Structure formats: structure tokens, C-alpha cells
Amino acid sequence: MKIFSGSSNKPLAEKIAEELNNHLSPLDIFIFPDGEKRVRVIDRVVDENCIVIAPTAPPVDSNYMELFLILDGLKRSGAKEIIAVIPYLGYQRQDHIFRDGEAVSLEVVINMLGATGVKKIICFDLHSMHTSELSKIPMKHLSALPIFVEEIKKIIGLSINDVVLISPDMGGVRRIKILSELLNNMSYAAIEKNRDLASGEISAENILEGNINNKKQAIIVDDMISSGKTLVLAAQMLKDKGIEEIYAFGTHPIFSNDASERLQASIIKKVFVTDSVYVPKDKMFDKLEILSISKLIAREIVETLSV
Amino acid sequence: MQDQLNDFIILSGRSNLPLAQDVGKLLKKEVYQCITSFADGEIRVKIPVNIRRRNVFIIQSTSSPVNDNLMEVILMIDAAKRASASRISLVIPYFGYSRQDRKEASRVPISSAVVASMLEHAGCDSLLTIDIHSEQEEGFVSVPWDNLYSSYSLIPTIREKKLSNLVIASPDKGGMIRATGYARLLKAEGVAVVYKKRDFEVNNKSEVMAMIGKVRDKDVLIVDDLIDTAGTIAHAADHIKRHGARSIRVAATHGLFSGPALARLSQSAIEEIIITDSIKQKDEVINNKKITIVSVANLLAEAMKKIESGDSISRNLILER
């Protein structure tokens, strides 16, 4: 087995390789002066199973293109089976046509991965639970929820009846129910979030499912943190309704624009994310804690290859 | 019979809107823009008009930022397909990654083939390019791929210069066919070629080695498909100058002008550079006194008309061969 890393999240790839008692095989990734990338596989890969670790977080198009080129290089070099580990799958939110004349970008990128010879995709906490079911390529959909459960247990201590799990939108209800089951049926509630499709502005309206009466601690759980506006809006609303302490969990730290500043300045006490997406130094903030998904991915790789 | 010309739709990505609009003007068609970006940088496509059962042209150069411009065109194809377009014709004046067209070393991808197959998989029905780096790339897809030559647009501009004792030069071995084509069309006195050896271990550095052909006291026109960092062209020009050329001009299709290109060109022996608008140029190129930009809008408009009407492209628009 050979393990390769794209340039988007090398620290995660190194951790996964370590978990597998292996090391990363080198790739020569060169950017020409005009911005085109040139990829070269250094080691021989004939008849080797190849794992490529490359979350397609921003800059999304350049990360996808790099991944396609790595996959093509491996395929043409005689690799046996190629498994793409894409902890964060870019374009996953564009999974259906919201308005006439739009593309289904998610299907486009999955088709491209299929065309470049990927046998299996391993990814994490997809925006829609249906994505892995509808994918034309076998897709293993892992979740960071088991990792979150351990952290949540540490936060709540003995006061389980004071705590409520919160989904910041109705789309996350299925996720929050699973988490509730993993935490001895902890109470949960979902907020009604509205997004104006034309302007992109969001608003948190009110509690739609479950209730938060007599609760002191709230744990908001989402799949990704992009601008952070959803979390901050939800937190403010929860505080207005009497919650005293608010934590946030999000699998993918996309952190666009001034998300870090927004979250640090918010009433949220601590923000937990995973290392599915690399967080550069200038986007780190005091309230942020990063949990690693490397063990879960390593385990899945072992299981995949042992079949 | 219904006039097909009134029916087709032109969509444009963000890479070269001015060229798309010039094409639209020539064809008396509106050009629809359909791209915005999400906050995290993901591209969002929305075609603003009904295109059901229409023939759709998508105009987009995959120049820098190449990966974003590529994704734009791929997502536009997907949106057009899902909006029930009858036929999706891609017009890609500059085709990015076309230089990575073979395995130049072991264990490398054929990036141009990856790009071409992505476009085909997304669902395009045909491709139209100008001066693709190597024409064999047409075989990377199973749909029709028409490659045009910018000589259609460049030759009239060069003729106006009335260069009397003209020699056409190619800056490398691969450009000889183009150079002989130009020589025939411009009734030049001769052809010259400068060789170079390109070392793949040292990226984008080229070395001039030798020349075939007489250039002493001649007005030399170097022709090439593209100018990237301008290393090849500047070296070739200096070599030709050392062999006694009277004047040196350059005609090239695609002006990438990456990195040190403009500085190199200004320091070189080149008097004038004629390029096309296949790539949208930044102000420092537009305002550069050595550089003349010739539009390929007319060439593209004529080709699109022929695609719509079913006329021959090779008979009417290909002068070089």
C-alpha cells in the first residue's frame, strides 16, 4: 500500500500514515508560472493499492484539479486500486437544483472522480445523508459524532438533564437524533433557519422541533462551519431564550471570510472542530479546539483493504 | 423553415467576458452571464434564461486562474444539460493544460487528457478551440473538436505592415508547420527555425541552441502558439538578432504573459508583439506600447455561424494548411 497526500491537508495525511505504521509517498507538485499544476508520482506504484488523501476545501477548484491529476498519474502508472480519502468533499452542498438553471455540482465532481478511476471514496459528515447512497462510486460515509460524544461527556459532567443538543437548522435533525441516541437519549431541539436564495442572508427564526425549557447548557452541532453566521445567530437566539452556556461542534472548519473573528467574539464558550480541513495559523483562535479524525480514517482504510 | 440563427443561446463564464460580448455583438445575440461565487469560493452557476431545446454555446477561456475557470465551464455544461439544452457547444479560445499533452516523464498524468475527458463527461457535444498546442489532443474526446487558427485574424494585420523582405521564424522545432503556413500566406522569402533543448528537470527554462535558415538583413516574424513566461521567444529573438536580422516581430495566438514575461519582452530585441484576445489581458499588457492585440471575435463568430448552419469550417476559415 502507498499513501499520498494532496497539498490541502498534509498534517492529517501524515497522522493517518502514522496510524497505519506507514509513511507518505512523495509527490512532486509544481505550479507553473501561469497557475497550471504539474503532478509527478515519484515511487513505483505498479500493482500497489494507493490511498490519496485530499480534502477538497477552499481553494476548492484548484484542490479538485490537483486530485484529478494525482489520480490520473497513479492510474497511468499502473496502480492497483485507488481509494480517495476526501474528508471534506467540496461542492457537497450543491446536491440538487435549488433554482432553475443551476448545476448539480456534487454529481459533477463525483462523476469526475469515477472517470479518473477511483474505486472508493472515504468521506466525513456529508451535508446530506443521501449523498453516499446516491453516489455512483462506492462511498464510505464516516462521522465525527463518536469523537464529539467523548468531548460532550467531558463538558457536561453530571448535569445531563440541564443539557440540550441543538441542530441549527432542520436539515441537521437526523444528525442530532443520532447524537442524542449515542448520549443516552439526551434532549434535543432544532432551530428553523431561513436562507434567502437570492441574497444568501440567513436568519434564525424559532425552535421547531423539541424544546429547550429549563435547560442551562446547549450544544450546537453542525456539519460544517463556513462563515460562522449560522452558529452565532443560533447561539444568540438560545441565549435570549434563557440558555446560560453554549458550546459549538462542527466537523469541517471551512472558516471563510472573518469566521474566526466572529466566533471568537461570540457568546459561544468553545468551538470544537476536526482536522478534516487544515486550519492555517491566521485562522486559529483561542476558543477553537481541533479533534483528529485520523484514527477513524486509518481504521476504515484497513477494513477496506482487508476485504 | 425556422431560422436557426435566431434560436441559439450564448453563455459566458467569467474568464473572457469582453471577447464573448464582442462575439455576441457580431452575431447580434445577447450574451448571458451565469456565474457567481459562494463565500467559501465554490462556484455557483445559474443560467438566467430558458434554454430548453436550444443550441447553447458556452464561451470560456481556461486561462489563469485555470482551475477555477475550468470548473466554471464544467458546471455550466452540467447546468445547461439539466436545463434541457439540445446541443452544448464549447468555445474555448484558450485551452489550459494543453501543453501537458503526453507523458514527458514516468508516473505523470496526461493533464490535458484529464481536462478534455472532464469536459466530455460533463456532457458537451462539441469543442471549438483556437491553436490548440497539439492537434492530436482532439483525439482525447469522442465528440467533434474543431480547432481554428488565429492566422485568419492575424494575417490581415501583419499584411498591413508591408514587410518587404520577410522571413518567418519558428522558435522551436514543433512550430515549423505553422511557420511554413504563415510563409505561404504572407509570400515570405523564407523560413527559419531556432532549436532549443528544454530540460524537464528544470521547469520552464529553455535554452537556445542553433538555427536553420537565413535571417541576415531580413525582417523576421517569429510565429508561435503562445507566449507564457516569454523565455523561448526572447531567447529565439536574441539569437536571430545576433545572426543579423534587420527587425524582429512576434505573432502569437495566446498571450499568457506569466511571471517575468513583460520584463523579458521589453529587454529583448523584439520590436513588436502581435497577440489575440483569446485571453483577457490585464491593463499592463493592453497599455504596453510593444504589444498589439488583434481580436479573434470575428473568427469565432464565423465559426459559430457555420456550426449552426452546417457549413464547412475547414473550407472557409482554415487558411494555414
Residues of A in contact with B9 (CB under 8 A): none
| Residue A136 annotated to the active site | no
Chain A segment 130-189 residues within 8 A of B by beta carbon are: none
C-beta atoms of A69 and B109 within 8 A: yes
Say what the pLDDT of residue A48 is.
96
Is some CB atom of chain A closer than 8 A to the CB atom of B97?
yes
Residues B294 and B275: beta-carbon distance below 8 Å:
yes
Q: How far is CA B95 from CA A99, A194, B223, B239, B275, in A?
A: 30, 41, 18, 29, 16
Angle formed at CA B301 by CA B298 and CA B307, multiple of 5 degrees: 140
Mean pLDDT of B211-239: 95
Chain B segment 108-127 residues within 8 A of A by beta carbon are: 108-111, 113-114, 117-118, 121-122
Check B196, B218, B280, B306 and give the catalytic one.
B196
Q: How far A261 CA lies from chain B's nearest CA (Å)?
A: 16
Instruction: Provide the 8-state DSSP code for B282.
Output: P
Cα distance between residue A231 and residue A52, in whole Å: 32
Cα distance between residue A225 and residue A289, in whole Å: 13
Q: What is the pLDDT of residues A99-143, one digit of tens each?
A: 899 999 999 999 999 998 899 999 999 988 788 888 889 999 999
Closest CA to A182 of A207, A194, A201, A165: A165
Share of chain A above pLDDT 90, in %: 79
Is some CB atom of chain B closer than 8 A to the CB atom of A37?
yes
What ipTM did this prediction achieve?
Answer: 0.86
Q: What is the pLDDT of residues B119-164, one digit of tens each?
A: 999 999 999 999 999 999 999 999 999 999 999 999 999 999 999 8
pTM above 0.95, yes or no: no
What are the residues whose beta carbons fall under 8 Å from the beta carbon of B259, sequence distance 6 or more? A33, B229
What band does A161 get if pLDDT is binned at 50, 70 and 90?
confident
Indicate if the pLDDT at residue B206 is higher than 80.
Answer: no
Chain A segment 268-297 residues within 8 A of B by beta carbon are: none
What are the residues whose beta carbons fall under 8 Å from the beta carbon of A235, sequence distance 6 or more? A218, A220, A246, A248, A266, A267, A268
Q: What is the pLDDT of residues A242-259, one digit of tens each?
A: 999 999 999 999 998 899
Say what the pLDDT of residue B1 is.
45
Residues of A in contact with B113 (CB under 8 A): 72
C-beta atoms of A257 and B39 within 8 A: yes
Say what the pLDDT of residue A195 is.
74
Q: What is the pLDDT of residues B54-78, one digit of tens each?
A: 999 999 999 999 999 999 999 999 9
Report residue A235 as a C-alpha cell: 447561539
* β-pair type (B43-45, B35-37): antiparallel
Is some CB atom of chain A closer than 8 A to the CB atom of B42?
yes
Cα distance between residue A286 and residue A277, in whole Å: 18
Q: How far is CA B101 from CA A196, B12, B108, B242, in A?
A: 44, 26, 11, 33
* β-pair type (A188-195, A202-209): antiparallel
Indicate if the pLDDT at residue B37 is higher than 90.
Answer: yes
Q: How far A153 CA lies from chain B's nearest CA (Å)?
A: 32
Residue B314 CB burial class (10 angstroms; 0-12, 13-18, ≥19):
exposed
Residues of A in contact with B68 (CB under 8 A): 59, 61-62
Residue A19's Cβ-side half-sphere holds a number of Cα atoms within 13 Å equal to 17
Say what the pLDDT of residue B205 is.
60
Helices (H) and strands (E) in chain A, counts: 9, 14
C-beta atoms of B107 and A73 within 8 A: yes
